Amino acid sequence: MDWSKTLVKEEIDFTAGESGRKLSYAAAIREALELALTSDERVFIMGQGVDDPAGMFSITTDLHKKYGEERVFDTPLSENALTGVAIGAALAGMRPIYMHNRPDFLLLAMDQIVNHAAKWSYMFGGCIGVPLVIWACVGRGWGGAAQHTQTLQGLFMHVPGLRLVMPTTPYDAKGLLISSIADNNPVIILEHRWLFRQSGHVPEGLYSIPFGRGVVRRLGKDITIVAISYMVVEALNAAQELEKQGIDAEVIDPRTLKPLDEALILDSVRKTGRLIVADTGWKTGGAGAEIATMVAEKGFDYLKAPIKRVASLDIPTPASDILEAKFYVGKADIIAACTALLEKRSGNGKG
């Protein structure tokens, strides 16, 4: 199958969610997987629990019954070895999708991901690709604690040769997964479990969303909030509250972190003069730090106030509900950061 001739490059504004066919977040992902399996016999799915009744958060339910155990199969607890198997299959012309319950388990496969999947194309002068999709889901609020709730996008942003995708809506979840399967490079997709609560507009059939193209989720003129993954939901809720205070916030959803839609972010900051970056990961050395640095390097003259980051505390994730509530950031933290920046409007001579 020639994916480049089959995919419909469809860009639908997020407001289309108000009408048309609606699917849950999980159903949108499952539909993408089913379409890929049906359209291309080179596609197969592997991972712990993909063939069990729960179907990996319901996104692979019964796919093994329809497509057979040779194309949808459970894997042993041996992440590094199995990632090597997936890379070998990709090099041999297959299009594997390796699904992990948690990003934490990707740490067990870092040698294969960083030293092999990310580097083969470069080492062979672009003559060979590694069309591998690695999918993982971030948990939160269920006591997963330090070893089962890590959001590691900052770690993977650091590695050349990897694409990094973090959708927010059911529409994006389907379209970006299809784009990832069709791509000839290794792609890591990190989902957030709380996004599975959403339903939204999802077109039928195969369609793609280009990597490196973000979207403005809410227009505003006073401050830019670049929000990653589930933090888009928190940022939109914060923007509604800020509006009551006379603050008009613009919310940007990058959708992919690597490549990053730098132009969209810089255009927004040029208009507003202020930037908040809201991330689900840790603050130090995280995705928020990279975005903030990019704006400081390329758009410093646009800024009317210092850049602020809203991110998780630099500690391991606690297990108790009470401590989790303090650890995770959200709407209130975004509102506080925005309010603090806007208070500087008359104090720095630029605003």
Q: Is the pLDDT of residue 278 over 50?
A: yes
The residues with which 190 forms a beta bridge, in sequence order, are 136
pLDDT of the residue at 13: 43
Beta strands of the chain (E only): which ranges? 8-9, 22-24, 43-47, 72-73, 95-100, 133-138, 163-165, 187-192, 199-201, 207-208, 215-218, 223-227, 249-253, 256-258, 275-282, 308-312
Model confidence band, residue 246 (pLDDT cutoffs 50, 70, 90): very high
Mean pLDDT of 53-71: 93
Pairing label, strands 199-201, 163-165: unpaired
Q: Is the pLDDT of residue 349 over 70?
A: no
Q: Is the pLDDT of residue 249 over 80?
A: yes
What percentage of the chain carries pLDDT values higher than 90?
79
Q: What average pLDDT is seen over the chain? A: 91
pLDDT of the residue at 55: 86
Q: Is the pLDDT of residue 5 over 60?
A: no
- The pLDDT tens digits for 68-125 are 999 999 999 899 999 999 999 999 999 999 998 888 899 999 999 999 999 999 999 9
Mean pLDDT of 17-37: 89
CB 25 within 8 A of CB 38: no
pLDDT of the residue at 292: 98
pLDDT of the residue at 139: 72
- The pLDDT tens digits for 157-175 are 999 999 999 999 999 999 9
Domains and their CATH numbers in the chain: 3-208 (3.40.50.970), 215-342 (3.40.50.920)
pLDDT of the residue at 201: 95
Q: Distance between CA atoms of 194 and 175, rounded to whole angstroms? A: 19
- The pLDDT tens digits for 116-155 are 999 999 999 999 999 999 999 987 766 677 888 888 999 9
DSSP string, 22-54: EEEHHHHHHHHHHHHHHH-TTEEEEETTTTSTT
Tell me which of 100 and 349 has the higher pLDDT. 100
Catalytic residue IDs: 79, 148
pLDDT of the residue at 327: 85
Q: Give the pTM.
A: 0.93
Model confidence band, residue 14 (pLDDT cutoffs 50, 70, 90): very low
- The pLDDT tens digits for 295-324 are 999 999 999 999 999 999 898 888 888 888
Find, among 262, 237, 239, 263, the residue nearest to 250 by Cα: 239
pLDDT of the residue at 16: 45
pLDDT of the residue at 4: 59
Mean pLDDT of 185-209: 95
pLDDT of the residue at 15: 41
Among 15-24, 181-190, 227-236, name the one with the lowest average pLDDT.
Answer: 15-24
pLDDT of the residue at 315: 87
